[in-house]
Structure formats: C-alpha cells, structure tokens
Amino acid sequence: MFNGKMKAVTFSYDDGITQDQRFIKILNKYGLKCTFNINSELLGKPGSLIRNDVTVAHVKPRAEEVANIYRGHEVAVHTLTHPFLPGLDDKEVIRQVEQDRINLSEIVGYEVVGMAYPCGGENNDDRVAKLIKENTGVKYSRTIKSSDSFDLQDNLYRFNPTVYHMHHDRMMELGREFIELKPDTPKLFYIWGHTYEFDFTENGWERFEEFCKLISNKDDIYYCTNKEAFGF
C-alpha cells in the first residue's frame, strides 16, 4: 500500500528548466508531488527549442538555485549531459549516471536515488539498465513508454509511466477512471512530460491545471514523489 492507501498519483518531469517553477506553483496549489530529472552539467545554461514551429525557452536554473526551487519535491538523475545511453560504452554509461547522481545529491543535500532516461524513442535497453542497477546508487529509472495502466511493475530499472501529459484527453480519461477505482491491490497513476511543452500547446498550462483540479484532494489517494511511490 501507499502510506496506508491503495492508490497513488505521482508526476515525473524532465530536463530541469525554468518553466518548472510555474509548474511547481500549480502542483503546490493542489497538493501534488513531482520528481524532477536534472542534468547537473547543464545547469545554468541558456537555450531554446523549436516545437510545432514555436520557439520555446529551454533555460536551466543555476546549481545554487536548485535546492530551493525543488524543495518539497524530488530531484533525480537525468545524466550529466543528456546523451543517448544505449550508444555509449559501459564506462561512460556509469559515469553519466553516477556522477550526475553524486552532483545532484551534493546540490540538494540528500541522497538522490531516482532517474529518468534521457532522449526520445527507445532510450534504454537491458544492458544499460543492468549497468545502472549494478554500478550506481540509482534505485529506479523511468522510460518514456506509456503503459496505459495503473498496475505496479516488477522492473523498476525500466519502469514505464502510465501516460504522457501531451496526450491530454487520454490523461483526463484515465484520471476519471482512477478516481472511480476501488482496487483490492495497489494502483499507481504515473504522469510524465516536460514543462516547456505547455508553452507551445494551446492553453497548455490551463489544461494541465484542469487535470490537477480533477485528480487532487481525494481522501483515498496518496500524492507523492516517485521515490515515495516506490517506497524508498
């Protein structure tokens, strides 16, 4: 169970960018918790991305700002520099993950144990997962392959989230289904994305807040970080 409850909701957002601050205000307003996956060697760097013909900011906060920004939530590994891990040799996979974990632990003042794989597509495989499990302090790592399910999974090193937040209609549908669920076994609703995606999506921020209103303030749901959901 999750803190004595059969249902839990958690969020996982990648890259560690300045839009996270607006996002956190919304989460805090509704009593929701998130894990933020950060590239420690990219902290403090400016940048932008073009998505759907819209240029959006992709600016990283400075290292000295991180602990305060993400207070009350969880900081987790996203590798040092966001490489495609299956394309790296064993030694570099371990370095990218473990050094990021060490750096972030020093920055936030607690031991970082979580992770999300960087890059799109098939961004992980059994070799990489085994390396991380056997050679780093990471205890779980999230993929980007949606399960469309609330069921718990045995392999925490290739953990598939329930839904990608850009699939808004499906996320809302799953949210209503989860609220009505009266399970006999523990169920986890796990949402992932990037906060910059709200900037190029029509009414993106407002639609996300609509979901937060829907899913929050339910007595039978535990609202938690990934680390708390997995019992670490």
Q: Distance between alpha carbon 15 and the CA centroid of its chain, in Å?
A: 9
Angstrom CA distances, 44 to 62, 71, 106, 179, stand at 4, 18, 16, 39
**pTM for the complete prediction?**
0.97
pLDDT digit string, tens, across residues 122-134: 999 999 999 999 9
Contact 141, 114 (CB under 8 A): yes
pLDDT at 59 (0 to 100): 97
Domains in the chain with CATH codes: 7-229 (3.20.20.370)
pLDDT digit string, tens, across residues 117-162: 999 889 999 999 999 999 999 999 999 999 999 999 999 999 999 9
pLDDT at 1 (0 to 100): 85
CA contacts within 13 A on the Cβ side of 109: 9
pLDDT digit string, tens, across residues 191-200: 999 999 999 9
Angstrom CA distances, 68 to 10, 61, 63, 75, 92, stand at 20, 11, 10, 11, 30
pLDDT at 138 (0 to 100): 98
pLDDT at 120 (0 to 100): 84
Low-confidence ranges of the chain (pLDDT < 50): none
Angstrom CA distances, 120 to 87, 117, 151, 193, stand at 13, 9, 23, 11
Scored b (16 or more CB within 10 A) or e, 119-147 reads beeebbeeebbebbbeebebbbbbbbbbe
Strands (E), 20-151: 34-38, 48-51, 54-57, 74-77
